Amino acid sequence: MPKKSLHELAQSVREGQSDQRKWYMAGVAEAVYESPGHYGFRSVDEVGEAFSHYWNRIESFPEHYSDTGANFEAYLTSSLRYIALSVRRDRAKEFDKQAVCYEEQYRDYASGYTSCSWSHYDYGESWCSREPGLCPGKRKLLPESADDSGSAKAFRIRLVYLCLKCAHLLDDAKLIELSKLVGVETVQLMRWIQKARHEMAQHSIRTCSRRRGRDSAWVRIGVNRRRLSREVDPERRQVLETRIYRDQGVYLRACQVIHNSRPLLSNKEVAEILGVSKGTVDSGVGRILRKYYPLYADEDG
């Protein structure tokens, strides 16, 4: 059986002979790898990238080809040259992305600090996490678990507000220890805590999504600035400048939203969990923070 040309193989595929598609792809690969420069590729590595990233597109060429006087080989050559340009453009974009990240890492190193994580918060050491526990001077500020006075009951309610606000920062062992220490019902407290942690998990999902959007915009800005520095065509420069301006807006808005986000549950959400008014929680949180300031103040402060 004589070897078919690419034009004949493409025609067979167009006629619905599905078994010919693999021979068509094999013929295209053989032709391009034998003479990559003819099809616009600078090396066989670029050919490999083209087949890896644009396989489906190359496979669909027979369906997109229409006979306008030139045979399929001419159409294939022209199409693959565009793909070769796309491969080099994708390579340049990837190089620019890596260069932007490397430059930022170098600036971090040169300025004497290392950026560990966008989502890192330095909460400091909580008094409730210190070992072996509260010092005697601070322990006496807390009401006894058996104290049924009005001030003790008010303190326990307000302490619940704080525990819910900081639910994701406190582990169960410390919460149980604290509830027994001041006389808060442990089972009910843990039920509220689970609800509060669920709310904070939703916050974390939204915050992570905003950080990803911010980081992506930051990378695009850096990449397009590098491309702009190399571009000489006025129209392309205008397109890149427009993209940079747009992504700067995206980046700044995301930064503002993240900056305004708090790593604690809001008083409104605490009020919804407990079924009380927000004003009650506002007042209770403010009161306990003012009255019991020594509980969370620094030892030397």
Long-range contacts of 125-130 (CB under 8 A, 24+ apart): 126/166, 126/169, 126/170, 126/296, 127/295, 127/296, 128/170, 128/174, 128/178, 129/174
pLDDT value, residue 115: 41
pTM tops 0.85: no
Q: How far apart are CA 46 and CA 120, in angstroms?
A: 41
What φ, ψ does residue 266 adopt, rounded to 5°?
Answer: -75, 160
Position 118 confidence tier, pLDDT thresholds 50, 70, 90: very low
Query: Residues 150-172: pLDDT tens digits?
Result: 777 888 888 888 888 888 777 88
Alpha-carbon gap, residue 250 to 237, rounded angstroms: 20
Cα distances from 1 to residues 4, 238, in angstroms, run: 9, 56
The per-residue pLDDT for 205 is: 78
Across 11-15, 20-24, 130-134, least confident range: 130-134
Q: Token pair of 93, please?
A: 């974009």
Within 10 angstroms of residue 294's Cβ, the number of other Cβ atoms is 12
pLDDT at 47 over 70: yes
pLDDT for 64 equals: 83
Question: What are the tens digits of pLDDT across the range 70-108?
Answer: 788 888 888 899 999 888 888 887 777 777 666 665 555
Contact 165, 205 (CB under 8 A): no
How far is 283 from 264, CA to CA, in rounded Å?
17
Give CA–CA dist 243/240, Å, rounded: 5
Amino acid found at 71: N
Look at residue 19 and tell me whether its pLDDT is greater than 70.
Answer: yes
Q: pLDDT above 90 covers what percent of the chain?
A: 1
CA atoms within 13 A on the CB side of 90: 12
pLDDT tens-digit map of 279-298: 888 888 888 777 766 555 55
* CA nearest neighbour of 273 among 153, 185, 189: 189
Residue 210, SS3 per DSSP: helix
The pLDDT of residue 25 is 87
The pLDDT > 70 percentage for the chain reads 79
